[in-house]
Amino acid sequence: MTRNNQITANPGFFRFKKVNHKYLLTNETGDFIFLKESEFDKFVNNKLSLKNKVAVKLNKLNFLKQPYSIEKAVVKYRSRNNFLFSQGPSLHIIVLTLRCNHSCLYCQAASCAVDTKEKDLDKRKAKKIVDFIFSIPSKDIAIEFQGGEPLLNWPVLKFIIDYACKKNKTLKKNLQLRLVSNFSLLDESKLKFFFDNNVSLCTSLDGPREVHDKNRILFNKQSHKKVSFWLKRVFEEYNKRVNRKKNPYIYYPGAVLTVSRHSLKYPREIVDEYVKWGFNNIPIRPVNSFGLAKERWKKVGYSSEEFLRFYKKVLNYIISLNQNGVILKEAVAGVMLQKILTDKSTGFLDLRSPCGAGIGQLLYNYDGSIYSCDEGRMVGDDIFKLGDIEQDNYQNVITGSKTKSLCLASCLENNICDLCVYKPYCGTCPVDNYVIHKNIFVYPSLSDRCKINKGIFDYLFTLLQNQQKVKVLKQWIDKNELLKI
């Protein structure tokens, strides 16, 4: 646009929000820029000269209507959303059993007593599940074993690993095998079997003993002692095998934690526990109001504001540790930063549009039911059941009306989320929406998940205005993928 014989920057499409005294602008391809209030005022009122250095940067990031590079936008959009061009779900969660030897305060999986063997997956169904998984066109397959406690159904777990590995010798997929276990039933022969078959191992570690044993109750009150013993052995075996032979298929051990109300008092202690074990990644996850957690919400739950206060304390402490040479990143922030600071898509199924339910992951329950995702089997009814291993093939599941409805409900373009400045980086969860108000479409004002995501994004974009913090946050991203900020 020409104004007083001066060519000015003509604003294109963008979303904006004031973050820490500056205006944050984002566009559809995930580029962002911070503007001072005076710069923002000039830009939106067509008073910013096209020769101004701010206008030059806005042009480079495709924030101007003219010139606008559609070619650049297409390349960026495709790269950031390459999951849209995938050939089917790559994550396949198999529930070996609902039995569990723990009684966690926040259990979401409706676990049952150890002697309830009718809640086990049998070998016949297990074989059908593996055949179903390998029938999917995707070249990448990750099979994750969950429960209950999956080690309680050891014969079928071992059978699936053997059968999947044998089948893959012919089909040659990029196969990953993962076990999520409380580790209390591990033994040396099982440990050897997992490492021999390149199974990645992940356990639950909620923090030091006073936190972990309060949240994760074992009959003898020694859950932390058990997991500590086997974590030590897992790391010993990992280090031995990595040093002996450089094998890219031996995966670094992992751990996950769930933040309960009791955990809120221990932000530093929880981080220190992960540092003690040598983990380079710590996932700070809020408790979900599914299963037992919903019934015990007053005891285990909290508001989104309480969680965000805790999260900021944890993140600040982790950043200070990094500044003092300790290598550790917070997993959720790491995923968000990858979406903010790179043009690469992440494998995180919750922060994308549409979400990964049905099209990025599937869950196979102990009884052969096929669900949209892990959370989908926890709500207490069959709304997220997409099929059954006994009667449905992949084509039926992926083209079914429920799968299509979940895609529709989790497309941010279809609801008020499309107006949010964080839309290029975020995602919504139909399961969470359904649990809150019996509707798979999102109502942000009623969603703690939305409030928490916004709160974390707000804080990350505040930190990205501090060059000392930026130095640390950039270390959490592959330097070859980083964009200039």
CB 449 within 8 A of CB 432: yes
- Two tokens, residue 146: 């969950």
CA 57-67-5 angle, 5° bins: 90
Q: For 154-186, how does the pLDDT look when each residue is reduced to its tens digit (9 = 90+)?
A: 999 999 999 999 999 999 999 999 999 999 999
SS3 of 321, please? helix
Q: For 452-480, how does the pLDDT look when each residue is reduced to its tens digit (9 = 90+)?
A: 999 999 999 999 999 999 999 999 997 66
Helix (H), strand (E) at residue 335 = helix 331-341
What's the Rg (C-alpha) of the chain?
Answer: 24
Task: Report the alpha-carbon distance of residue 443 to residue 428 in Å, rounded.
Answer: 10
CA 84 distance to own-chain centroid: 17
Average pLDDT over the chain reads 93
- The residues near 305 (Cβ < 8 Å, ≥ 6 apart) are 451
Sheet holding 385-388, edge to edge: 284-286, 254-259, 199-204, 174-181, 140-146, 91-95, 361-364, 369-371, 385-388
Q: What is the pLDDT of residue 112?
A: 80
Burial of 480 (0-12, 13-18, 19+ CB in 10 A): exposed
Which phi and psi (to 5°) does residue 92 adopt? -130, 110
Name the pLDDT band for 3 (thresholds 50, 70, 90).
Answer: low
Q: What are the distances in angstroms from CA 145 to CA 126, 287, 414, 443? A: 12, 21, 34, 32
Average pLDDT in the 246-257 region?
79
> Comparing C-alpha atoms, which of 392, 401, 395 is closest to residue 125?
392
Q: For 209-221, how does the pLDDT look when each residue is reduced to its tens digit (9 = 90+)?
A: 999 999 999 877 7
Task: Report the alpha-carbon distance of residue 120 to residue 106 in Å, rounded.
Answer: 22
Beta bridge partners of 34: 24
Task: Report the alpha-carbon distance of residue 372 to residue 401 in Å, rounded.
Answer: 12
CA 365-283-17 angle, 5° bins: 110
SS3 of 443, please? coil
- Two tokens, residue 287: 């408790």
Q: For 371-400, how does the pLDDT look when each residue is reduced to its tens digit (9 = 90+)?
A: 999 999 988 889 999 999 999 999 999 999
Task: Report the alpha-carbon distance of residue 203 to residue 187 in Å, rounded.
Answer: 15
Average pLDDT in the 140-144 region?
97
Q: For 339-355, how does the pLDDT look when each residue is reduced to its tens digit (9 = 90+)?
A: 999 998 888 999 999 99
* Homologous superfamily of domain range 88-302: Aldolase class I (3.20.20.70)
Which phi and psi (to 5°) does residue 26 adopt? -130, 155
Domain spans in the chain, listed from the N-terminal domain onward:
2-80, 88-302
From start to end of 69-161, where are the E strands?
Answer: 91-95, 140-146
Sign of the dihedral defined by the CA atoms of residues 37, 43, 46, 47, in that order = positive
Q: What is the pLDDT of residue 67?
A: 86
Q: For 86-106, how does the pLDDT look when each residue is reduced to its tens digit (9 = 90+)?
A: 889 999 999 999 999 988 888
Amino acid (1-letter code) at residue 255: A
Q: Which residue has the tokens 């646009």?
A: 1
Q: What is the pLDDT of residue 182?
A: 96
Q: What are the distances in angstroms from CA 404 to CA 28, 401, 408? A: 23, 5, 6
Amino acid (1-letter code) at residue 176: Q
- Two tokens, residue 233: 């052995």
